[in-house]
Amino acid sequence: MNTTRSLTDENRARLRGVSTATLTTALFKRGLRNVCIQGVLPVNPAAARMVGEAFTLRYIPAREDLDTMSVFTDRSHPQRRGIEEIPAGYVMVVDSRKDPRAASAGGILITRMKMRGVAGIVTDGGFRDTPDLRSLDFPCYAARPSAPTNLIHHHAVDLNVPIACGDLAVYPGDIVVGDAEGVVVIPAHLANETAEEAAAMTLFEDWVDARVRDGRSTFGLYPPDESTRAEFEAWQANSSN
């Protein structure tokens, strides 16, 4: 796989400081409406700040004669191989066909990814061992907890191909950002500019939020009119001194 990482360290840091909500707006301005992995929640909201390149795992439905306990002894099994091969700093994104009736992964494998420096994991299905995951300092996003082992409904079929996850296309290398609200995926070629714009938007929105808490009306403030824009720029010039 191509592991050239075009997102700069500075912008990677910026993405850790912006919300997924702000990112959807920055991407909407670039013509992208569908940028959010729909229907997933953080298992451990306190750990939910995730930025990394997408490394994908694709499941298809299980078939009784193929998906037996013995498959896990094979080191080329895509799920098991993926856990050991995903580069540090990447996010594993799993296409589970929005089927949470069996788990996409569980405590031991996810702990292994954490130990390897992986940035997080997202599935549009479920995780097992969620009581353990809730206290693991590692970002995990799923539709819901799901105790059954993945073989019961899922067959891991390949790694690092473009997939669907939560009704969103995810391409390997896309930048995956998660917070306590959910997960947004930024096409790789837009990552740097989006990070910069979102960071600027966040500064402005924090300033707006403070004004609103002071009792100011949103009219003319959000979105800003000429005068608000000038006021913000003055404040910004001031505060950066």
Q: Amino acid identity of 204?
A: F
Beta strand extents in 135-239 (DSSP E only): 140-142, 144-145, 154-159, 163-165, 168-170, 175-178, 183-186
Nearest residue (CB) to a second copy, 87 versus 145:
145
Binding residues for Mg(2+), as ranges, are 129
User: How far is Cα 196 from Cα 3, in angstroms, rounded to an integer?
Assistant: 22
Instruction: Provide, rounded to whole angstroms, the least separation between the CB of residue 77 and a second copy.
Output: 10
Selected binder of a second copy within 1, 13, 88, 169 (CB under 8 A) = 169
Instruction: Provide, rounded to whole angstroms, the least separation between the CB of residue 92 and a second copy.
Output: 14
- Residue 32 makes contact with a second copy by CB under 8 A: yes
- Residue 12 makes contact with a second copy by CB under 8 A: no
Whether the CB-CB separation of 133 and 44 falls below 8 Å is answered with yes
Instruction: Provide, rounded to whole angstroms, the least separation between the CB of residue 8 and a second copy.
Output: 21
- Residue 119 makes contact with a second copy by CB under 8 A: no
CB proximity list for 144: less than 8 A, separation 6 or greater: 41, 100, 126
Nearest residue (CB) to a second copy, 10 versus 88:
88
**Which residues ranging from 171 to 230 are in contact with a second copy (CB under 8 A)?**
179-182, 184, 187, 205, 208-209, 212-213, 215, 217-219, 222-223, 225
Instruction: Provide, rounded to whole angstroms, the least separation between the CB of residue 101 and a second copy.
Output: 6
Binding residues for substrate, as ranges, are 106-109, 128
Binding residues, as ranges, are 106-109, 128-129
Whether the CB-CB separation of 110 and 121 falls below 8 Å is answered with yes
Two structure tokens written together for 161: 């191909």
CB proximity list for 95: less than 8 A, separation 6 or greater: 56, 57, 58, 59, 124, 163, 164, 165, 170
Instruction: Provide, rounded to whole angstroms, the least separation between the CB of residue 17 and a second copy.
Output: 13
Q: Among residues 115, 106, 157, which one has the least CA distance to residue 133?
A: 106
- Residue 112 makes contact with a second copy by CB under 8 A: yes
Instruction: Provide, rounded to whole angstroms, the least separation between the CB of residue 91 and a second copy.
Output: 16
Cα 144 from chain centre: 16
**Which residues ranging from 47 to 66 are in contact with a second copy (CB under 8 A)?**
60-66
- Residue 84 makes contact with a second copy by CB under 8 A: yes
CA atoms within 13 A on the CB side of 157: 15
Piece of 6-14, 158-166, 192-200, 233-241 that binds a second copy (CB under 8 A): 158-166
